[in-house]
Structure 1
């Protein structure tokens, strides 16, 4: 089971600010949202059915379009696992599956 909270924002409300603590998906259920991520030059306009991926540490300002909006914060879908390219698989087979010893890097 997962928790999903719906928020409703009127078009005349001031923008709200959220601090993102986990990998999160902002999902618009109804209406339109204007989203600004602090430190980024671009803004996002999201409409019903659209989703925006947010990462931990982001500070996000959200405002509703004139008609208002209903939205939710939920878990991001897990990224798809991709197989290693065939060249890497052949190299690993040639090495007999041995791992390279760990190395320290200069600081």
Structure 2
């Protein structure tokens, strides 16, 4: 059995920190999410349909893109194959984040 929770974030909401208790899959349902994991040297910019595995005990910081976002967090018996989101060059997401792209 696994638990799946769905969340919504508006663009103007403060960045949220998540402490991951057990291995989880983070999947964007709509919009875009900026996500960074403490200890990881790169940020992740995830669009609708993309997912990333969050390791146990990780601390993840998330924020929504210009249009807000909905995402799911699943934990428990995770048997689905996920791969990390493709990494964009450093700061390539900044124009989108600021709404100038």
**Unaligned runs of at least 5 residues, structure 1:** 81-107
Q: TM (normalized to structure 2)?
A: 0.72
**Unaligned runs of at least 5 residues, structure 2:** 82-101
Aligned to 2:65: 65
Where in structure 1 do 4 or more consecutive aligned residues deviate above 6 Å? none
Which entry has the higher C-alpha Rg, 1 or 2?
1
Aligned to 1:99: none
Aligned to 2:28: 28
Alpha-carbon distance in structure 1 between the residues aligned to 2:71 and 2:44: 14
Q: TM (normalized to structure 1)?
A: 0.69
Deviation string, structure 1 residues 42-63 (Cα, Å, up to 9, x no partner): 0000010010001101000000
Alpha-carbon distance in structure 2 between the residues aligned to 1:45 and 1:25: 15
Aligned to 1:77: 78
Cα RMSD between the aligned structures? 1.8
